[in-house]
Amino acid sequence: MLNSDYGFRFLTLGVICMSALNCAASTPSADKPHHTKSGFKNVHTYKENEFSDFLKWRRERAKKEIPGPESYNFPLAKNNPDFLKQNRDKNTATWIGHATLLLQMEGYNILTDPHFSKRTSPVQWAGPERVAPLGLAFKDLPPIDIVVISHDHFDALDEQTILKLHRRPGGEKTRFYVPLGLKSWFAIRDIDRVIEMDWWDRHQDRNLEVIAVPVQHWSKRSIFSRNKTLWAGWVIKSDTFRFIFVGDTGYAPHFKAIGDKLGPFDLAAIPIGAYEPRWFMAKHHVNPEEAVQIHMDMQSQKSVAIHWGTFILTDEPLDEPPKRLSTALQEKQIPKEDFLVLQHGQTIILD
C-alpha cells in the first residue's frame, strides 16, 4: 500500500472523475498570467514534475528506511470544547491537525482545509492514514461560519468532512470559500453557499473581508484534471485583526507581495512539513527554513505551524519539521514565541 498522498493521486485517481463537473474549471482570462486556455498555472518559471519524476521518487523511496506510524506518539493537548462552543469575544486558534485550524476571530468560527477523516485518500479503506488523533473531535466543533479551501487535493478537500459540515445542525449557513473551478464540485453535492474566487479577489462577509491570494502549488483530483482548478491562500481581516492561511505552497515571490500589499498580519498559518526529497517536493512544498522566510516576507507578528505531524505523505520523519524550524528561527534571531509549534488540539488565545 502506498503511504504517500502523492502516490495515491498519481496511481488511483482515474476512477474518481465521475462527472465532468468534478473536473470543470471556470472560464480562463487571457489577460491573467496564471490562467491558461484549459485551466491554471504557476507564474514563476520552473519545470513541472512529470510522471517519470514520480517513478524516480518511488524507486528512491523504496531504498529508504522511513519511520512508520508506530514510531510516533504525538501528545494531545487538553482543550476546552465548551469554551470554544461558547466563545464569541476572544480571538483564538486551535490546531486540529495537518492543515486544519479552527480560528475564532471577531465572533466568527472559521475552519481551514477541514479534514476529520481517518485517511487522506479518495477512499477510506486505503491511502495515508492519520498518525496523530484529531486534536478536536468533530462533535466538539462550534457552529462554523466560514470554511476556506486551499486546493483540491485529498488532504485539503475532504469529501466526508465537507458533507458532515454541511449536514450538521446549522450547517446550511456555513459559507465555503474556494479557488476558481471548485464551485461545481460543491454544486453536485447540493452545497450552494459557495464563494469562488480568483487570486486577489475580495469578498465582504459581514464584518470580515476575505481575500484570495496567490501561492505556488498545483491541483489534481482525477487523472484528467491536472491544474483545471486553481489553488490559493486566504486572507481574512477585520478592522482590528489580520489572518492569513497559506495552505500548501512552494516558496515564491508571492509572499513578499502579499506582505507589502496586505500585511502586517496578526496571525499566519504556515506549512512546515511534507518537503523531502527536495528535488521533487521543493516546487510545491516549503521546508521549515522557507517557512521562516515566508513568516518574515509577510510581516507576520505571530505564526503557527501547520501541514506536519499528522499524515505520512513524504520522506522526512514526521517529527523532524519542528526541530528544523527551531534551528531556522535561532539562525534568524526570531523568538520561538513568534512562530509556534502547537500540540494537536492546542488552543492559543490571541491578544
**According to DSSP H, which parts of the chain are helical?**
5-12, 20-23, 51-62, 81-86, 159-167, 183-187, 254-262, 278-281, 288-297, 320-331
Sheet containing 267-271, strands listed edge to edge, beginning at the edge strand earlier in sequence? 202-205, 208-213, 233-237, 242-245, 267-271, 303-306, 339-340
Residue 57: how many CA atoms within 13 Å on its side-chain side? 22
What is the residue-level pLDDT of the chain in tens, covering all 351 positions?
Answer: 334 444 544 444 443 333 333 444 455 566 899 999 999 999 996 788 888 998 999 999 999 999 999 999 999 999 999 999 999 999 999 999 999 999 999 999 999 999 999 999 888 887 899 999 999 999 999 999 999 999 999 999 999 999 999 999 999 999 999 999 999 999 999 999 999 999 999 999 999 999 999 999 999 998 888 999 999 999 999 999 999 999 999 999 999 999 999 999 999 999 999 999 999 999 999 999 999 999 999 999 999 999 999 999 999 999 999 999 999 999 999 999 999 999 999 999 997
pLDDT at 28: 57
Contact 61, 2 (CB under 8 A): no
In 10 A of CB 108, how many CB atoms?
Answer: 18
Under 8 Å CB-to-CB from 70, ≥6 apart: which residues? none
Name the residue range of residue 282's domain: 5-71+78-350
In 10 A of CB 124, how many CB atoms?
Answer: 11
Residue 307: how many CA atoms within 13 Å on its side-chain side? 27
Residue 166: how many CA atoms within 13 Å on its side-chain side? 16
Smallest CA-to-CA distance from 190 within 169, 162, 213 is with 162
pTM for the whole thing?
Answer: 0.91
Number of structural domains the chain divides into: 1
CATH number of residue 104's parent domain: 3.60.15.10
Beta bridge partners of 212: 234
